[in-house]
Each structure stands twice: as structure tokens, then as C-alpha cells.
Structure 1
Amino acid sequence: MTAGGRGKRSRPPFVVVLLACLIALFSLLPLGYVAAMTVATGWDTAAALIFRPRVGQLLGNTLLLIVITVPLCVVLGVGGAWLVERTNLAGHKIWAIALAAPLAVPAFVNSYAWVSAIPQLSGIFSGVLIATLSYFPLVYIPAAATLSRLDPGLEQSAASLGLGPWRVFFRVVLPQLRLAMAGGALLVSLHLLSEYGAFAMIRFDTFTTAIMEQYRSTFNGTAGNMLASVLVFFCLVLLLAETRTRGNARYARIGSGTQGRATRLPLGGYHVPGQLALAGLTVLAFGIPLFYVLRWTIAGGAAIWAPDELLPALLQTLGYGVAGALATTLVAFPMAYLAVRHRGLFSRVLEASNYVTSSMPGIVVALAFVTIAIKAAPDLYQTTFLLVAAYVLLYLPRSLVNLRAGLAQAPKELDEAAQALGKPPLAAFLRVTLRLTAPAAAGGAALVFLGIVNELTATLLLSPNGTNTLATQFWSLSSEIDYAGAAPYALLMIVLSAPMTYLLFQQSKKAAGQ
């Protein structure tokens, strides 16, 4: 920068641009696969397969699931966040963590627990029950983070004009939660589209369960590919809808001075109902899954803790989790660097390609990799490399978002100062920027690790022969109605996921304050 205005914008390193472009092209492989399969099928055949009663039934189930579940998650997430962050609720710090805890329980483990409690569970309302209890924290966490950082000045001004607490909430607070609600609703919707295990266990048909059935009956069948194309279409529609809902809105405090602390509203006679509501929600979403996992673990006795089966599954899960987390973090660096240090249309387009692919269900990404590997590189089929590559595409945004925040807190002027002291550009980056970005990179890697530990569909389709992760071994045993044998694997997944869920909650709070 010069004293008189902006200096000449520096060009990004060619190697970084090349890597980012290659990563973007790699990210678009699943989308290209779906488009190519649709074109190869031909319009007449594709239309016959898409516009048929079975697809109409799946469409009705999926839309009904989204239309009922997403509003419930928004109400529970925002309501819980408001009670925790803006009222004088006793024990609000404990409730803040308790409401995020259900994310540590994979949805298919939640389904396993509820089927243990009520074996007759099936159909749309059972799907809504399990999906709501599994995914409402995806709305709660960003809503709580936003509420904890909102400037109370607007609320105080509205109250001084005579508005009561409820009118202040609906007119002032709720509009400022639009970004959190839109983002959370998108995440819930995408999870509903991609979830397989939870709905298969209660015999509720969705696009993902139908695609898996088609894959098992007819490998790479045309009918399955057309279902995948419809599913991808819905994912893109949801992304567009969330973008339009979010718009260009930003809610930030402008002006000098220190932001005031929000006054916690007294609940009065609603205090006991509020406590009971949060206790009931926590018991249903976290207590019941944990209870039945522990119950089956105790019922199975020492025999279910077979080291020759459990230990390899744990080690392979940890191995894939660490390898996927490291690979995803490395791949995310060029994108994050361009997005922060060289902002512009080019970097935004490259970044968007990753979000489009990550929104696709794991089964679509896996089918794309299976087909491409068999046709173009048979030696890669059912290899660790291919599975880790799928993890990278599925979880890249988790690392990318954290790296962007970390790089934004490491000003490039520090690099320039190091270079002025005689350090080469690469050495300056490694010694200064990389060290400052390390905590954010570690946070992103932890979130990727959490996703990989609980991933099921891509692992089922892509893992090498003989691979048994905690998720796949749990699924194999629970599918055989060996609920006691599956319990240790479920328990270990919860134990591994719990600290990562807490980290996600803390990271969201920090991000809201930036």
C-alpha cells in the first residue's frame, strides 16, 4: 500500500495457482461423472427412469422428511441457543455443551438405539424423530455462537422504545440470526439427503437408501445413476436456495468503543419449564443413545470385546482418520491462501467448486470414484489412496474454513518483514505464516477426523478388501441384529467423537467473534 492509495496488487505464486486449479478440477470429478452418466444414458431412457412411480415415492419421502425435519431443527436449535445465551437459565454453561453433545453420536447409532428401545420404529415420523434428534445441533451451534456475539445495543434501543422481550426477539434478534439459521438449515438438509444408515435401519426409503440397493443389486446400474443425478440436482437446488436466503447480509457492529454485554432476561415462571425442556431434549438426543449403547455393552459381557476384531477396527479408523485429516489440510492450503491473500473472482470460483462437491452425498462421490477407477485406473480400485481421496473431497470445506480464518489472522506484512530481514519467501512463509496458522489448521484437521470416524457409505463402497473401520464393523454386526456385538464399536465412535464435537463448539464461538 502507498500513502496515496492502493499499491500494485501482487500476483499469486504460479505453483499455488496451479495446485488450486488442479484441486478444483479434481473436486468436480463427481459432478462430471453424474453429468456424463446422464448424457450417456440418453434422454428417452433417462426420462423413463426418472419419471416413474418409484422415483415419485422417493421424492415424496425425501421432501416430506426435509419439510418437517428442518423447521423442527431450526426451532429447537434457535430456542435452545436463546435459552442458553440470553436468559438467566441456571447452569447455562453446562446446557451449552449438553445441547452440542448429540453431534458426537452418529445418526446411524442414534437409529440403532431407538430401534433397541422401540423395535417397531419405521416410516416417515420415525425418520423425522431420529433425524431431528441427530441434527438439531447443526442449527444450535451457529445460532448460539451468533447470539453470544451480537451487540446488545439494538435490543436495548428497541426496549427503550417500548417493545417487550418477545417483540424484541422477533423484530431485532431473530433477523440477525438469519445467516446462522440458513447455514444450519442447509447442513441439516444436506445430511438428510446423504444419510443412509439411520434410515435403512428403520426401513424408511430415501434416494440414498434406494441408490445403495440399486448398487448392490446391479453394479453401476443405469437406474442407480439416474437416482444419483436427481439427488445431485436437489443438492444444487439447496445450495442455491441457501445462497439466495443468505444474500449479501452481514451483521456487524460499526463504530468505536467496546461492545456491551447483553443482559440476560429473567425467565420467571418459565424457568422450570425451560429446564425441563432442555433436559428432555438432551435425554432424547444423547441420553437414550448412550443408555442403549451401554446397556448392550453390559449385556454382551467380556465376550464382545474381542481384541482380534476390535483393535484392528480401531487402528484402521484412527489410521484413515489421521491420513484423511492430514491430506485434506494439505490440499486445502492453496485454496485458502488464494482466498485470503489474493481475493477475487478467480479464487471465489475455485473455492465454490469445493463446496459444490462436498454438498454431494458420500454415496454419489463413492460411485463416481468406483466408476472412474474401474474404467481409467483399475489398479486404484479398492485402495487406501482412493478412499482417502474421497474423504478429501467430502470434508475439504471443514479444513478450508478453518485455514481461511487462520491465514486472515497472519498478516502478510509479517512475511514481508521476514523477507526484508533476508529470509527467502518460502522460508518466511514456513517460519511465520505457517506457525501462526497451525492452531487453525489443527482445528480443521480435527473436524475432518470427526467426519471420517463416523463416515459409512463411502467407506462401505471404496474401502480395500479386509478393511473394517468402527463404522463399517458396527454396520455389519447391527445389520445381522447382533446389537450386543455392535455396541463396543458404537461406544468407541462416541468416545472418539466427543472431544472433536467440543472443539467444533469452541471453534464456532471463536469464529463468531471474528
Structure 2
Amino acid sequence: MQASADSTLISASQPGRRITARLRLSWIGLAAILVTLLALVPLGFIFWVTAQTGWQTAIALVFRPRVGELLANTIMLELLAVPACAVLSVALAWLTERSDLPGARLWSWLCVAPLAVPAFIHSYAWVTIVPGLNGLSAGVLVSVLAYFPFLYLPVSAALRRLDPALEDAAAALGHGPWSVFLRVVLPQLRLALCGGALLVGLHLLAEYGLFVFVRFDTFTTAIVDQFQSTFNGPAANMLAGVLIACCFALLTLEMLARGDERYARVGSGAARHPVKAVLGRAALPCLLLLVLVAALSLGVPFYTIARWLGTGGWQVWRMDEISSALGHTTVLALGGAVLATLAAIPMAWLSIRAPGRLQRILEGCNYMVGSLPGVVIALALVTLAVRYLLPLYQTLATILIAYMLMFLPRALISLRASIAQAPPELEQAAMNLGRRPLDALWSTTIRLSAPGAAAGMALVALGILNELTATQMLAPSGTRTLALAFWSYSGEIDYAAAAPYALIMVGASLPLTWLLYVQSRKMAGQ
């Protein structure tokens, strides 16, 4: 009788549970839709401005020699820098993961460490050492040194996870080492290569400071120059439209190159590591390659910063300015990180608790905004504020919204992984104890996903720390972040005064870079 009564109570409570679940889903879904609509504002705004400008004017602004020159520069940069990053990263990953290279663990960290140096600091370092360095060749050189770790990380992680049995089978069939690598290993790295190459390509489209230093014109540098010199809305927006088209072209190419082949296998397979290749006489040349890469990607920036600090002496440490810039950077980084993380919670929860077609569409829109260059997002918000919301122009609210849109995918990815590890039964238990749906969500799932939220906030804060273009265009009057202060002094050719800001930015970025490196090895089971 008692069991029957309990069953009756449970069955009677089911409608109430379904009502509260639907209520919670509706509120979270509404929040996710609002965030997604806000994320689509920059993209929608560019299309709206194009229509308002008039198709004839828009065509005249797009199909002109200057745009053709910028497009040629962009295509050449992508065609040269991305493959170079891929070749270098595959070579370094194979040496550090699949060979008996002495000190492989140390070299693998040194291959990731250049991520801690902002790209414009790489460029600043090279230009101060080689003043005549400029143009496409300079842009490719510095881009490869600054961005190859974005490819090295996924490729090295993929190499650590590959099944050595496939390579053993190919070798048993008579294939030599090069044939095994090209026929067996390299095809299994396709996903890692495509993802890393897409990330590098998008960074190249969005980069500003690096190419200004080496005097190489891209769409991003042209948009910022157009905005700062004449505030020419139509011309800048048309350039932004072409830049968005380039982003979508990269996304399409990556999707086609990735294909739909199966890369997983049935069963866990043998839990063993592949036999390390013996380098023999090639060990010394391979070590020299790694020394050269570390010297160019890390040695040059640190040497340059130390050189200018020594030249400037204690006079360059203007502590009142530095403390003010550090304070402004901290406020913006914390504010942007908190806002982006809060905005990511509804979509992250839906992607785990209520997956479906609508959820996938909404989530895709949230990731899409992350592929847009910051200058496009800033340009859209500037024009909207000037035309329709003038009180919001150059306010803290506008720049925090820009940061939220730019770095939303970073917070979303971290939160989604943590929410997936929080049992949904805890939310139901909290509601059964009388808590309201949103209170139950906050007291259980959100608290359990706090480590993921903290990691996402750290990633967003790092992005804001090194962000330049959107901050230049949207920062409130009087705001001077570390990046802006560095840019101001370097623009005045006062490289010694810029050095302390470069050192602080690199020092703040190194711990997070180490965290990414450690996390990458943990995901591969090492």
C-alpha cells in the first residue's frame, strides 16, 4: 500500500514538474534568443547600411581599385601565412610528440609560449630591430611567428591521440616512414589542421596592430584609418562588408576541407603510446630548428622589451600612468568577462539540457559573431550609437557590449563543458524542495559549473587585455588601457616608453597560456 501511495504521489507530481520545466525552459530560451539577436546586430547592420546607402553607391564603393588592392593583399597573406603555419606546426608537433628529441616536453611548451605575446608586440619587436622590415614579406614572417601556436596546439594534441596500430599495419605492408606519415598520419590530422588553419585565417583578417607596424595594408587597417581620418560611414561599412564576405569564405573553405569522413573507431583500442622515431644524426638539425623558432618567436620580443627598458631606465616606469592604465584595463577586463559569461549561461544550458534544431541554430549564431573582426563589431556599434543612441556613444556600456559580442564564444565553450558535468537531477531535487526554477538552477548547476565559468572569464579577460581596435573606437573619453597606452607611445616612436606596457601585457598573458598548454595535455591523457 505504501508503494502504491508513493507511486500515486509521484505520478500526481509529474504535471507540476513538467510545468516548472517548461517555465524554466521558456525563460532561459527567451534569454538565449535575446542574446542571439544582439549578437546578430553587427551582421544585420552591415546589410542594412548597404541597403540604405543604395546599391549603385555600394557597388561603386566596393568595386574600386583600392578595394581590389586590399583584397589582393588579403588573399596573398592568407595563401602564404596559413600554409606556412601549417607546415611549421606539423613539423614541430611531430618532433616534440613522435620523436626521441631531447627535452621534448620543454620544447613543446616553448612552441605554445608565443601565444602569450600579442601579435602587435611581435611586430613592434621586429620593426625596432629591423627598421626596414615592411610589406607582404614582413607581414607573413611576423604572422607565422605570432600565430603558428594556434595550429601547433590542436595538431600536437591530435598526434598524441592517434592509434599507432594503423601506422604499424601500414609499415607491415611495406610502406616506408614518409609513406606512412603521408598516407596514414597526415589524413588523421585533417580536423586539427582545418580548425587551426581557420583560427589563424580569421585572426589574420582581424589583426590591426601587427600590420600597421610593418606598413602592410589590409581591410582592417583600411577600415580603422577610414574611420579615424574622415569618419566616412558608407566607405568604412562597405569595406566591412567585404571583410565579412572574406570571413564567410574562410568558414566555407574550412567546412569543405574538413569533409565528413569518420575519424573515430569502434572500441577503445590498445592503450599504448607509439614508438618514438629515432632521429639519429638528424637530432642536431632538428634541435637547431626548434632553437631558431624559439629565438625568433620568443627571443626577439623579450630581447627587444629588455633592450628598450634598459635604454629608457627607470624614467620609462611612469607609475601614475601605468597604474591608471592597469586600473582601466582591469575594470574593462573584469566587466567584459562577467558580462560575456552571464550572457553565455542561457545558451550553454540549452545546448546541454535541451538540444534541438532551434538550439543548434541559435548556438551557431553565437559562434558566428566570434568569427567577425572586432573592427566590424565596433564600427556597427559606433554608427548605431552616433545615429540613434547618441548618449551611449563612447560610454562604458557600449564597449562592454562590444567585448561581450566579440568574446562570447570563449565563455560559451567553457561553460558548456562544465554544465555537461552537472547532473540535471540536482536541479529537480532543488525544485522538489521548494525552490523556484531559476533559484534551483543557480544553486545547483551554475555553482557546480563555476570552474568552467572561471576559465571562460579568464579567456575573455585575456582577449580584452590584448584588444586594440574596438577599444580605440569605443573607449570612453579619457580611457587608457595597457594596449592603448602601448599603441600611443609606439605610434610616437617612443619605443622605450612603450616597453613597460608590453612587459605587463606579456606577463599577464603567460599564466593563461600555461593553463591552455596543461589543459591540452590533460585532454590527450598526458
TM-score category by the smaller chain?
over 0.9
- The superposition leaves residues 7-27 of structure 1 with CA deviations (integer Å, 9 ceiling, x where unpaired) of x9x756111100000000000
- The superposition leaves residues 14-46 of structure 1 with CA deviations (integer Å, 9 ceiling, x where unpaired) of 111000000000000100111011111111111
How far the C-alpha of 1:258 sits from its partner, in A, is: 5.5
Aligned counterparts, 1:106-125, within 5 A:
106-125=118-137
How far the C-alpha of 1:433 sits from its partner, in A, is: 2.3
Matched, 1:383 2:395: yes
- CA spacing shift, 1:70–1:409, aligned 2, 3 Å: same
Residue equivalent to 1:496: 508
Secondary structure of 1:110's aligned partner: helix
* Whole-angstrom distance in 2 between the partners of 1:259 and 1:335: 36
- Kindly provide the amino acid, as one letter, of the partner of residue 36 in structure 2: A
Matched, 1:62 2:74: yes
Aligned counterparts, 1:424-443, within 5 A:
425-443=437-455
Percent of aligned positions with the same letter in both sequences?
53
Give 2:345's match in structure 1, choosing from 329, 333, 351: 333
Instruction: Say how many residue pairs are matched.
Output: 507
* Whole-angstrom distance in 1 between the partners of 2:400 and 2:523: 28
How far the C-alpha of 1:153 sits from its partner, in A, is: 2.6
How far the C-alpha of 1:475 sits from its partner, in A, is: 0.3
* Whole-angstrom distance in 2 between the partners of 1:250 and 1:442: 34
- Kindly provide the amino acid, as one letter, of the partner of residue 72 in structure 1: A
- CA spacing shift, 1:271–1:478, aligned 2, 3 Å: same
Give 2:35's match in structure 1, choosing from 16, 19, 23: 23
* Whole-angstrom distance in 1 between the partners of 2:275 and 2:143: 34
Matched, 1:294 2:309: no
How far the C-alpha of 1:511 sits from its partner, in A, is: 4.6
- CA spacing shift, 1:246–1:68, aligned 2, 3 Å: same
* Whole-angstrom distance in 2 between the partners of 1:427 and 1:254: 42
Q: Is the CA contact (8 Å cut-off) linking 1:220 and 1:367 kept in structure 2?
A: no
* Whole-angstrom distance in 2 between the partners of 1:367 and 1:436: 38
Matched, 1:166 2:178: yes
* Whole-angstrom distance in 1 between the partners of 2:376 and 2:524: 32
- Kindly provide the amino acid, as one letter, of the partner of residue 484 in structure 1: A
Residue equivalent to 1:467: 479
Q: What is the TM-score when the length of structure 2 is the normalising length?
A: 0.92
- CA spacing shift, 1:295–1:344, aligned 2, 3 Å: same
- CA spacing shift, 1:438–1:160, aligned 2, 3 Å: farther
- The superposition leaves residues 140-193 of structure 1 with CA deviations (integer Å, 9 ceiling, x where unpaired) of 011112222223232233233332222222112211111111111111111111
Q: Is the CA contact (8 Å cut-off) linking 2:233 and 2:383 kept in structure 1?
A: no
Secondary structure of 2:449's aligned partner: helix
* Whole-angstrom distance in 1 between the partners of 2:441 and 2:425: 11
Residue equivalent to 2:293: 281
Q: Is the CA contact (8 Å cut-off) linking 1:153 and 1:260 kept in structure 2?
A: no
Give 2:146's match in structure 1, choosing from 134, 153, 156: 134
Matched, 1:262 2:289: no
Q: Is the CA contact (8 Å cut-off) linking 1:220 and 1:371 kept in structure 2?
A: no
- The superposition leaves residues 114-159 of structure 1 with CA deviations (integer Å, 9 ceiling, x where unpaired) of 0111001111000101111110111001111222222323223323
- Kindly provide the amino acid, as one letter, of the partner of residue 314 in structure 2: A
Q: What is the TM-score when the length of structure 1 is the normalising length?
A: 0.94
Residue equivalent to 1:243: 255
- Kindly provide the amino acid, as one letter, of the partner of residue 134 in structure 1: A
Bigger drift between 258-267 and 468-477 goes to 258-267
- Kindly provide the amino acid, as one letter, of the partner of residue 470 in structure 2: A
Matched, 1:195 2:212: no
Residue equivalent to 2:419: 407
Matched, 1:228 2:240: yes
Q: Is the CA contact (8 Å cut-off) linking 1:37 and 1:225 kept in structure 2?
A: yes
Residue equivalent to 1:104: 116
* Whole-angstrom distance in 2 between the partners of 1:249 and 1:395: 30
For structure 2, the 5+ residue unaligned runs are 1-17
Bigger drift between 253-262 and 231-240 goes to 253-262
Q: Is the CA contact (8 Å cut-off) linking 1:453 and 1:470 kept in structure 2?
A: yes
Residue equivalent to 2:91: 79
For structure 1, the 5+ residue unaligned runs are 1-7
* Whole-angstrom distance in 2 between the partners of 1:210 and 1:297: 32
* Whole-angstrom distance in 1 between the partners of 2:416 and 2:523: 11
Residue equivalent to 1:3: none
Q: Is the CA contact (8 Å cut-off) linking 1:121 and 1:202 kept in structure 2?
A: yes
How far the C-alpha of 1:298 sits from its partner, in A, is: 1.2
- The superposition leaves residues 396-429 of structure 1 with CA deviations (integer Å, 9 ceiling, x where unpaired) of 1111111122222223244445556776644543
Greater Rg by CA: 2
- CA spacing shift, 1:487–1:208, aligned 2, 3 Å: same
Secondary structure of 1:89's aligned partner: coil
Residue equivalent to 1:322: 334
* Whole-angstrom distance in 2 between the partners of 1:250 and 1:145: 18
Q: Is the CA contact (8 Å cut-off) linking 1:443 and 1:503 kept in structure 2?
A: no
- The superposition leaves residues 205-226 of structure 1 with CA deviations (integer Å, 9 ceiling, x where unpaired) of 1111111111112214321111
* Whole-angstrom distance in 1 between the partners of 2:108 and 2:422: 30
* Whole-angstrom distance in 1 between the partners of 2:422 and 2:185: 32
Give 1:312's match in structure 2, choosing from 309, 321, 324: 324
* Whole-angstrom distance in 1 between the partners of 2:359 and 2:124: 43
* Whole-angstrom distance in 2 between the partners of 1:249 and 1:510: 26
Matched, 1:373 2:395: no
- The superposition leaves residues 59-89 of structure 1 with CA deviations (integer Å, 9 ceiling, x where unpaired) of 1111100000000011111211111111111
- Kindly provide the amino acid, as one letter, of the partner of residue 215 in structure 2: R
Q: Is the CA contact (8 Å cut-off) linking 1:110 and 1:130 kept in structure 2?
A: yes
Q: Is the CA contact (8 Å cut-off) linking 1:107 and 1:134 kept in structure 2?
A: yes
Matched, 1:218 2:230: yes
What is the RMSD of the two structures over their aligned residues, measured on CA atoms?
A: 2.0
* Whole-angstrom distance in 2 between the partners of 1:63 and 1:300: 40
How far the C-alpha of 1:254 sits from its partner, in A, is: 2.3
Bigger drift between 482-491 and 267-276 goes to 267-276
Bigger drift between 311-320 and 17-26 goes to 311-320
* Whole-angstrom distance in 2 between the partners of 1:457 and 1:199: 12
Secondary structure of 2:231's aligned partner: coil
Residue equivalent to 1:95: 107
Bigger drift between 157-166 and 268-277 goes to 157-166
